[in-house]
Copies of this chain bind each other. A is one copy, B any other.
């Protein structure tokens, strides 16, 4: 049985199953109205990818309790780590903490350490009811530091609750390192093939069939009036990955063009 056998499909599935995976719930009317361009998805996806954790699904839901609860319940048992962004500020539309508490059937409590940090930051005089709201977490939550505006995120069960403001979400990710266990990293290579995607598709299909443990994606572009495609190859076994890269180069050569390795 050579390494191109159909058995490799099963091998990839086993590999995938062994690797940790994650999902993300983006909470925010401003994304669903198109007012704000989300930047957290790409940041979190890359952060997870660098740690060998596959992002399996993202859901964007409005600032509505029922929608948040439904998404959290649907995803939390599907993955190792569930992330959320948004809705942890001081205003009336920030309902993430209570929604997560309800989704997990945990009481919402004042987290003593969060309360202490926020009170120290604002001063007792300026520690208004709205600011006090930011100290509430589901019972049993562990804080996630917020070096920018103090109000912490939190982890409860396998759920990581981050801020929506991209700079704060990114800073919170940095402090999560010790709370997660990564997997074997997925290596990737990107080749630029200066051919219309459809002219290279049959060759690529054949290569994808020969290398079932390598995921091969094709992303067409149009630049200066010319069509081309970036071929992204990803896999855990570096030598198989290089063989697949060589196969793409060879096929491009047969089609009369040079496939150039590009930085991602």
| A interface residues (Cβ-Cβ under 8 A, vs B) | 29-39, 41-49, 54-63, 67, 89-93, 122, 126, 128-131, 133-134, 148-149, 165, 167, 188, 197-202, 204-205, 208-209, 215-222, 227, 229, 232, 234, 264
Contacts and interface: CB of A to CB of B under 8 A. Distances in A.
What's the dominant secondary structure at chain A's contact region?
A: mixed
Given A29-B215, A92-B218, A130-B205, 20 more contacts: A30-B217, A30-B219, A31-B45, A32-B57, A32-B58, A38-B41, A57-B60, A57-B62, A63-B217, A89-B197, A89-B198, A91-B201, A91-B229, A92-B204, A92-B216, A122-B198, A126-B199, A128-B198, A148-B222, A149-B227
A45 B49 contact: no
Contacts of A188: 33
B30 A204 contact: no
Nearest to A231: B91
21 contacts: A29-B215, A31-B45, A32-B58, A33-B45, A34-B42, A34-B48, A56-B62, A57-B62, A58-B59, A59-B60, A89-B218, A90-B201, A91-B229, A92-B205, A92-B216, A93-B208, A93-B216, A93-B217, A128-B202, A149-B222, A149-B227
